[in-house]
Amino acid sequence: MSLSGWEYLHFDSIDSTNLHAKRLAAQGERRDVLIRADVQSSGRGRLGRRWESPQGTGIWMTQLFAPVDVPAKDAGGAVFLSAIAMCVALRDTTYADVMIKWPNDLVLNGKKICGMLAECGFAGDMCDWIALGTGLNLNRKALPEELIYASGVEDETGVKIDPEALIERYLIKFDSLRDVWQTRGLEPIIELMRPLSATIGRDVRISGVRAFAVDIAPGGGLAVRYPDGREETVLAGDVSVRGITDYV
């Protein structure tokens, strides 16, 4: 079966859709494939963290694709494609003010409703394949109570989501962004992300240290200014935004 031109594999249950995408990549799969599961036993976040993926309470999916002419050093930009595409698909569906928290979260009403994880394979200095995982909470009823900053899009908006309709809307947007990214690079993608950003222009903490988020830098890093005036571009890591998720 296919969804918006993507081969669509829907499992009742799986270890992790990202792990499955990587298994397919290792077997030589290079078509556009979207893997989805109703429950994941080993859902993964960044840096080996766990992603809670209870039965039927969210959309747990990974896109496997082979980007065209993308240098290895630029592969990390892929996560912005999915962040923008899902942010826009959710706004169009719910009319809610979903925002992108740099680099890989979607937030609504100060709560994390969605996280993204990009994993890549390389061929020399080019990107060979990308496994781009998206975990979208529809509701938070089966999430552990200690995840106090997590919520679901249905809880926050009252809108019932039709998963496959949302995925199709998402994929159409994703595919057009991917074309822009592959032909014109990350800069036009960052342009599109700026107005959706929950991070730019806000007080943030970088690994606990206070700073001001000035902008998204050309390479996709976060340009910040510290209270002593020093400026830096943060490339990865954990940024908390004042009033959003863990920095209140």
Residue ranges that bind ligand BT5, judged by CB under 6 A: 16-18, 40, 43-47, 49, 51-53, 60-62, 104-105, 112, 115-117, 133-135, 137, 143, 147, 150
**Between 101 and 228, whose beta carbon lies closer to ligand BT5?**
101
CB of residue 132 vs ligand BT5: minimum separation in angstroms?
9
Toward ligand BT5, which CB reaches closer, 187 or 238? Answer: 238
Kindly report the backbone phi and psi dihedral angles of residue 202, in degrees, each rounded to the nearest multiple of 5, phi listed first: -120, 160
Question: Minimum Å distance from CB 25 to ligand BT5?
Answer: 14
- Smaller CB separation from ligand BT5, 62 or 94: 62
Q: Whole-number minimum distance, CB 78 to ligand BT5, in Å? A: 13
Sequence letter at residue 137: N
Cβ proximity to ligand BT5, 111 vs 169, nearer residue: 111
- In the complex, the smallest distance separating the C-beta of residue 54 from ligand BT5, rounded to whole angstroms, is 8
| Residue count (the chain) | 248
Question: Which residue shows structure tokens 């599961």?
Answer: 37
Question: Cβ-closest residue to ligand BT5?
Answer: 115
CB of 86: closest distance to ligand BT5 in angstroms? Answer: 11
Nearer to ligand BT5, 179 or 198 (CB): 198
For ligand BT5, the closer of residues 75 and 116 by Cβ is 116
- CA neighbor of 136 nearest in space, from 157, 154, 109, 118: 154
Closer to ligand BT5 at the Cβ: 94 or 104?
Answer: 104
Q: What's the closest the beta carbon of residue 230 comes to ligand BT5, in angstroms?
A: 26
How near is the Cβ of 23 to ligand BT5 at its closest, in Å? 13
Place of tokens 């863990």: 246
DSSP codes joined into one string, the chain: -EETTEEEEEEEEES-HHHHHHHHHHTT--S-EEEEEEEESS-B-GGG-B----TTSEEEEEEEE--SS-BGGGGGGHHHHHHHHHHHHHHHHH----EEETTTEEEETTEEEEEEEEEEEEETTEEEEEEEEEEEES--TTS-TT-TTB--HHHHH-PPP-HHHHHHHHHHHHHHHHHHHHHH-SHHHHHHHGGGBSSTTSEEEETTEEEEEEEE-TTSPEEEE-TTS-EEEE-SS-EEEBTBTTB-
